Amino acid sequence: MSRLPLAAFAAALLWLGYEAPRAACKECGGSVGAVLWVAFGVAFAALWLFHLRQARPVAEE
Amino acid sequence: MKKTPWWALALAGAWGLALLWVPADAAMGEPYRLLYMHVPFALCTYLGTLLGAGAALLHLRRREAEWDRQAQALLEPATLLAGLTLWTGSLWGRLTWGVWWTWDARLTSMLVLFLLLAGTHVLRDLAGGGPRGGRLAAVMAVAAALLVPVVHMSVYWWSTLHQEGTILVQDKPRMDGEMLWVLAAGVVAVAWWLLATAAARAKALAAEAAE
């Protein structure tokens, strides 16, 4: 699988992850949804980047 | 074009379900969804630490560089997972308890575990790598592994703010079925990431050693 469809899929999920809690929680506006959106996105990116770093040749470190 | 690792697809699927499909918790509301990151990170920190310490013990016993590389390859992602466990826990604590940090037994013991794991890499570097650095790191990895049951049992042994176990309990898990399956999928995906990342790192370290 190429990376582009997965990136689009992840972006769609993250956007919906922001919208769904915002729609469900009228009192807290979008703040909780935004926190979840950012937290899941940052964690996913951290895992992906760390995996790429670990897989590269040691000489490039 | 490079291929997407399968663990990434599994993780995107598990976290997508966590954000979109499972219902909000009746007591904690939306912030509880952080559980779908926090618990897999914590359980896989245990897994990476125990496997890494197992490889470290074999290195101490047999003095084979291959086991040292395996230990290093497992302990590096375990350290990241411990840091992510602390970060997601802190965020969750801020949303539910109102504080970023408290010196609770579970939080403090997890912080010590993170520092021990980070210490394995610091010791290795301070010793200039090589066999001595590997042995020093291995001893600290074993110390980190001995702390894992303490971290897990801390919520039972001491009176803590952190809630008791939800998954690894003697009776039935204290979660609704669909929540539990999504959480299990997240644990499998993060464990997959851990093992794939460790395998890639061990391969890179072995290639460097062969040069």
Complex ipTM: 0.86
How many whole angstroms separate alpha carbon B133 and alpha carbon B120? 9
How many whole angstroms separate alpha carbon B169 and alpha carbon A7? 37
> Closest approach of chain A CAs to the CA of B199, in angstroms?
8
Q: Which residue has the tokens 């600290």?
A: B140
Token pair in block for residue B88: 């997601």
pLDDT in tens, B32-60: 889 999 999 999 999 999 999 999 999 99
Per mean pLDDT, which range of B37-51, B79-93, B160-174 is the poorest? B160-174
Per mean pLDDT, which range of B6-15, B165-174, B189-198, B200-209 is the poorest? B165-174
Q: What is the pLDDT of residue B177?
A: 79
* Among B18-22, B31-35, B104-108, the range of highest mean pLDDT: B104-108
From the list A28, A36, A43, the residue facing B19 with the nearest CB is: A36
- Give which of B204, B62, B52 is closest to B121, Cα–Cα: B52
Distances (CA, A) of B19 to A48, B13, B36, B37: 19, 10, 9, 11
A2 Cβ under 8 Å from any chain B Cβ: yes
pTM: 0.86
The residue with greater pLDDT, A37 or A17, is: A37
How many whole angstroms separate alpha carbon A59 and alpha carbon B61? 29
> What are the backbone dihedrals phi and psi of residue B199, each rounded to the nearest 5 degrees, phi first?
-65, -40
The residue with greater pLDDT, A14 or B64, is: B64
Burial class (CB in 10 A: 0-12, 13-18, 19+), A29: exposed
**A contacts of B193 (beta carbons < 8 Å):** 47, 51
Residue B20, number of CB atoms within 10 A of its CB: 14
